[in-house]
Amino acid sequence: MKVVVVGGVAGGASAAARLRRLDENAEIIVLERGEYISFANCGLPYYIGGVIKKRDNLVVQSPESMKERFNLDIRVLNEVKNIDIKNKQVDVYDIKNNKNYKESYDKLILSPGAVPIKPPDKGFNSPNVFTLRDIPDTLAIKNFVDKHNPKSAVVVGAGFIGMELAENLYRRGIAITIIELAEQVLAPLDSEMASLIHQHLKEKKVEFYLNDEVKEVEHREEFSLVKLGSGREIKTDMVFIGIGVRPEVTLAKMAGLEIGERGGIKVDRSLKTSNPDIYAVGDAIEVIDYINGNPTLVPLAGPANKQGRIAANNICGIAEEYEGTQGTSILKVFDMTVAATGNNEKLLKRCNIPYEKSFTHSSSHAGYYPEALPLSIKLIFSSENGKILGTQIVGYDGVDKRIDVIATAIRAGMTVYDLEKLELAYAPPYSSAKDPVNMAGYVASNILKGDSVIIHWHDIEKLNREETVLIDVRTPEEYNLGTIEGAKNIPVDELRNRLSEIPQDREIIIFCQAGLRGYIACRILRQKGYKKVKNLSGGYKTYFPAVQMQDNPDIFQYEK
């Protein structure tokens, strides 16, 4: 059997290695148009920032080492230009030797990846304007920074790669301006969770503008002028374009392979394309969303590696299906960590899937042990049966293990009631006797069982204040530092003795800092005969950042 793999990074390299482990006699050829194979895409920004010191550390396997270990025919700087399906061969251009040749195959695996989206040229093709997708891109950015010592940079796009590069350029002492077309950074998050990141960016004195776009970059002798749709003009030394990627489907289209509705190569669950001898994996393919069952694009390294393995299994006669991608991801944003898995609210609404949500704010470990840090969890679950649909976590420490627990729970089809029961490791330096995951389960379960009737932060402004009483059950000291407008302060410990101040014929909205004291207050009032009592989910800690001005044009103002 002869297998040709097009693309030698995550999916392609995994497929080739798995093929060899399954079939020692197969002829396996890897054709990679770039100079490198099996490199660490996710580590590229950290080499620019100096966190990763050596360039060689970015290369997981060199062509030579992979050839030696797996007996593969690896050809870098060899670009596949066309697929001749009828004759089962590919047309290849050898870049180094400037020659064309044909290579036959029995089975073909496509792993061409994705390419950065770049706006139409309005000043974007310039030596100080960059995208970041591979090692040559990385070297170009790092060499520019090392040589020219820029003082400022504009990062266009606040997705994962944009935020990572912003942090690493910031580490190099460069003043950062972030431009984002959407209303928030980091699309996998819902707005109130993104607001926690917005506040952190403000603390770091990072300039950022939301709901704005770059119209043009005008290059002058001493600087470049980035012109925004809002009319702002920002002087900068360098520009990074990180507005997303699109599947690389050129070869697939030329070969007549079916393209999915989202623009990726269409594959079945065995990762076979519309041609029975061609498989496709990685960022170029359309996958099934594990939560909602619809086609989607998820350009992540973890799924690509798994897909490469599954495609190889199927080629070798080991039947296996790819069950879908849930989009588990994690990101370091300056001092904070952001993680998500499953669907967010925006996606569930588009898919018309009924859901409920809860917010909990816990400590990363036992509060009495030093250096416990805040951890905010948004849990999204079925309002019908409690099945977990998605989670977003923002914090400083312990975010990674909590998102992994919940990602595993989603894959196992677990519910919020199961989260209550999980027996998770506890010692004061690492967690609490009731882990933040358990707490999220308790709160969500109470909502579904009716033990806690909640209201969410975005519904507060819709209240008829003539028919509603807002009660802040925090301490007077907390109340004086800031509260919801019109709220009356009755600390939870005084509540039983001050019931005469609370009318029974009006709706009562209770809130505290994070939700726990509010829940206790609601339980007291309901058992004292109050019928219309709701607790603000996530408390003031969710409400306050969510209702602030999200970007900071009031702090950073440039003259035109």
List residues with catalytic annotation: 42
Residue 541 has a CB neighbour count (10 Å cut-off) of 21
Q: Extract the tokens encoding 266.
A: 């269409």
Q: Are 97 and 109 in contact (CB under 8 A)?
A: no
- Distance (Å, whole) CA 31 – CA 447: 54
Residue 239 one-letter amino acid: V
Q: Are 416 and 403 in contact (CB under 8 A)?
A: no
Nearest-10 crossing angle of helices 10-22, 63-70: 20
CA-based nearest residue to 170, from 124, 213, 136, 203 = 203
- Distance (Å, whole) CA 9 – CA 40: 9
CA-based nearest residue to 53, from 42, 43, 62 = 43
In 185-228, alpha helices (H): 191-203
How many alpha carbons fall within 13 Å on the CB side of residue 200?
18
For residue 81, the surrounding DSSP H or E stretch is strand 78-84
Q: Extract the tokens encoding 280.
A: 């496709």
Q: Extract the tokens encoding 138.
A: 């990385």
Q: Extract the tokens encoding 442.
A: 């308790």
In sign, the C-alpha dihedral spanning 287, 288, 294, 299 is negative
- Distance (Å, whole) CA 330 – CA 541: 22
- Distance (Å, whole) CA 257 – CA 239: 36
How many alpha carbons fall within 13 Å on the CB side of residue 490?
21
- Distance (Å, whole) CA 529 – CA 522: 11
